[in-house]
Chains A and B, each alone.
Chain A
Amino acid sequence: MKRRALITGITGQDGSYLAEFLLKKNYEVYGLTRRTSTPNYERIKDIVDKIELIPGDLLDQHSLTEAVKNIQPDEVYNLAAQSFVPTSWNQPVLTGEFTALGVTRILEAIRLTKPDARFYQASSSEMFGKVQESPQNEKTPFYPRSPYGVAKVYGHWITVNYRESYNLFAVSGILFNHESPRRGLEFVTRKISHAVARIKLGKQKKLRLGNLKSKRDWGYTPDYVEAMWLMLQQDKPQDFVIGTGKTHSVEEFVKEAFRVVGIENWQAYVEEDKHLYRPAEVDFLCADPTKAKKILKWKPSVTFKKLVQIMVEADLKREKYENR
């Protein structure tokens, strides 16, 4: 019998790659989607007839319980969230209702209707915020600096709590930044690759950015969805940090992106805008993925340079196509 997986946030970057990955592994894939007036199926358009979309909402316990009860999934991946940090300052309560309490609602649904389902919670390096040690591993203390970070810490703790108290196979993957051509345009990597492609094609003149010195540990998303799946295939449920262990600055990303399109004097196109600085900047985020390497035998397959190249080339292709 085919294994069944339920994914929340299937229309997002991670959800779409994970769905493709699981289809290749011969899973039946179910995706939870919120009804919106304009459906956003761009990222899953190629697989939409191979998966089943179930209406439901993280704010609504009933819809989640019904989905888990009816599908009886072997694995549940909670990737849905209000995931943009600046928005969490404008709408902190909603971020808490969605990003934090959504986790509890799914765990309750599993506990009551399919307690042997395996559960993956998408945790985030934003939980480390003002970092207490570097690089960060599974034992590093959390110091979240935004309502998004706090909501993610909640999701992590409640996942651990349900595992320890109700004996569920529930794990939290603490994922560092992971990027791809499907990343939303509001995120800095995609903002850059998109702008650089348009500048190359003469469609845009300037790229305005916040703090160029900000450093992040950036990986390639398809590698990360594989790590999610691996965590649910283990004998024992436990939490893992997933990242490359290497950091690069926004400036390095910009430089490399311009290099891909053959522009050397990148400074001529980039403006630093103090208004785009984050109110409370997170510090030096860098993963220590030793545990994942050892136990999951996981390691990233794409280098930083390759990642930038993939993203810029994809945006070039898209922008050229739109020109025609």
Chain B
Amino acid sequence: MKESAAVKKQKVALITGITGQDGSYLSELLLSKNYKVVGLVSKKYNIGWDNISHLRAKLILEEGDLLNKNSLERIFLRYQPAEVYNLAGITFIPTCWEKPVLAFDINALGPLRILEIIRDRYPKTRFFQASSGQIFGYPQESPQTEKTLIAPKDPYAIAKACAHFMVRSFRENYGLFLVNGILYNHESPRRGEEFVTRKITLGAAKIKLGLAENLKLGNLEAQQDWGWAPDYVEAMWLMLQAKKAEDFIIATGKIHSVRDICYLAFKTLGLDYRRYVIRDKILYRQQRGKPLMGNPYKAKKLLGWQPKVTFEEMIQLMTKADCQQLKNKKGKR
């Protein structure tokens, strides 16, 4: 009796993008809070199972696709999730330049398909949309707040900004619990290797182990607001537990340069980055506007959220993790 009551009370969360960096950390967090975690997985855009292989036995994975509303409806019908976290999408900006139509169809119309289902059938479901600091384009002010002008400048950011507006329109129009987390860059050992932080920590580890001789990078002076991904998934959860549905900036409020990452990553391994980093003009991207840096004041005040891991600690953790992983691989061979 007691047990069945507990089972009944168990909250269900649906996560899209569960195999990604954020999805895997969020799964861990929600499992630790005794949620039943359902993940949407797509064979079409399989990015691998590495991030959740250690959790697979505890997760319910359902085949589906943000492009296919029927597949989403079927999952809603079966599990009636109390919370939905939309973390899926094309996240790599160059891909969005190549496929702008697909970028919008997945990154904007994808969440819209979920919003329709919630509005029409499950109005009590709470919805989190992973919005992005990129929606501010070349910012006119720094740091940015929830009130900064939204003016995206590439097909990825445009799609994200439209999703952001859709969520807000549906919330204001129907009074549903739908929120945008305006997330700035957040990193971890599970970050994709195409992103600059991971490229550097992995590059440094390879050099340390004699697997590479140098590391090619673009603009070393480019500055960003980089946070620790596990801190950010906690903010997502907090946003859905709040009394009122609101949008929040989730960021550290501090900026660092690509050069800072290099310095710390190589230093962690006892190396001097200046001997190994090569500037590559092809990779060079000029930074425009003021730096992308979020002001997390509102999240701190209303959610009691603040980052726990510093930038320095994060780069150290990532570098060590990459080193360990490479050693393990080497050992297997």
Interfacial residues, chain A to chain B (CB-CB below 8 A):
61, 89, 92-93, 96-97, 100-101, 104-105, 108, 141-142, 144-147, 149-151, 153-154, 157-158, 161, 164-165, 279-280
Q: Which of A97, A153, A280 contacts B162 (CB 8 A)?
A: A153
Q: A92-B112, A96-B104, A105-B101 are in contact. Are A142 and B150 (CB under 8 A)?
A: yes
Q: A145 to nearest B CB, angstroms?
A: 6
Kindly list chain A residues whose C-beta atoms are within 8 Å of the C-beta of B162.
Answer: 96, 100, 150-151, 153-154
Q: A285 to nearest B CB, angstroms?
A: 16
Instruction: Evaluate contact between B113 and A161: CB separation under 8 angstroms.
Output: no
Is residue B155 within 8 Å, beta carbon to beta carbon, of the partner chain? yes
Bound together, the chains give a CA A280 to CA B168 distance in angstroms of: 11
Interface of A is mostly: helix
Bound together, the chains give a CA A89 to CA B112 distance in angstroms of: 11
Bound together, the chains give a CA A5 to CA B14 distance in angstroms of: 49
Instruction: Evaluate contact between B108 and A154: CB separation under 8 angstroms.
Output: yes
Q: B104 to nearest A CB, angstroms?
A: 6
Instruction: Evaluate contact between B152 and A93: CB separation under 8 angstroms.
Output: no
The number of residue pairs between A and B whose CB atoms lie closer than 8 Å in the complex comes to 76
Q: A64 to nearest B CB, angstroms?
A: 11
Instruction: Evaluate contact between B158 and A157: CB separation under 8 angstroms.
Output: yes
Bound together, the chains give a CA A141 to CA B116 distance in angstroms of: 26
Bound together, the chains give a CA A141 to CA B146 distance in angstroms of: 13
Interfacial residues, chain B to chain A (CB-CB below 8 A):
69, 100-101, 104-105, 108-109, 112-113, 115-116, 149-150, 152-155, 158-159, 161-162, 165-166, 169, 172-174
Kindly list chain A residues whose C-beta atoms are within 8 Å of the C-beta of B173.
Answer: 89, 145-146, 279-280
Task: Name the residue among A97, A145, A150 with the largest chain B CB count within 10 angstroms.
Answer: A150
Q: A92-B116, A96-B108 are in contact. Are A147 and B169 (CB under 8 A)?
A: yes
Bound together, the chains give a CA A315 to CA B153 distance in angstroms of: 45
Bound together, the chains give a CA A280 to CA B174 distance in angstroms of: 9
8 A-B pairs with C-beta separation under 8 A: A100-B162, A101-B104, A144-B169, A149-B165, A153-B162, A158-B155, A161-B155, A165-B154
Bound together, the chains give a CA A20 to CA B155 distance in angstroms of: 35
Bound together, the chains give a CA A104 to CA B101 distance in angstroms of: 7
Instruction: Evaluate contact between B100 and A144: CB separation under 8 angstroms.
Output: no
Instruction: Evaluate contact between B104 and A93: CB separation under 8 angstroms.
Output: no
Bound together, the chains give a CA A61 to CA B172 distance in angstroms of: 34
Name which residue of chain B comes closest to A145, CB basis.
B169
Instruction: Evaluate contact between B101 and A150: CB separation under 8 angstroms.
Output: no
Instruction: Evaluate contact between B165 and A280: CB separation under 8 angstroms.
Output: no
Instruction: Evaluate contact between A93 and B169: CB separation under 8 angstroms.
Output: no
Kindly list chain A residues whose C-beta atoms are within 8 Å of the C-beta of B174.
Answer: 279
Name which residue of chain A comes closest to B105, CB basis.
A101
Q: Which of B100, B115, B169 contacts A104 (CB 8 A)?
A: B100
Kindly list chain A residues whose C-beta atoms are within 8 Å of the C-beta of B108.
Answer: 96, 100, 154
Q: A145-B173, A150-B165, A150-B166 are in contact. Are A96 and B158 (CB under 8 A)?
A: no
Name which residue of chain B comes closest to A88, CB basis.
B169
Q: Which of B149, B152, B154, B166 contacts A92 (CB 8 A)?
A: B166
Kindly list chain B residues whose C-beta atoms are within 8 Å of the C-beta of A280.
Answer: 169, 172-173
Q: A114 to nearest B CB, angstroms?
A: 18
Given A104-B100, A279-B173, 8 more A-B residue pairs with CB atoms under 8 Å apart are A92-B166, A93-B69, A145-B169, A146-B173, A150-B162, A150-B165, A158-B100, A280-B169
Q: B201 to nearest A CB, angstroms?
A: 31
Bound together, the chains give a CA A144 to CA B172 distance in angstroms of: 11
Instruction: Evaluate contact between A157 and B161: CB separation under 8 angstroms.
Output: yes
Instruction: Evaluate contact between B169 and A108: CB separation under 8 angstroms.
Output: no
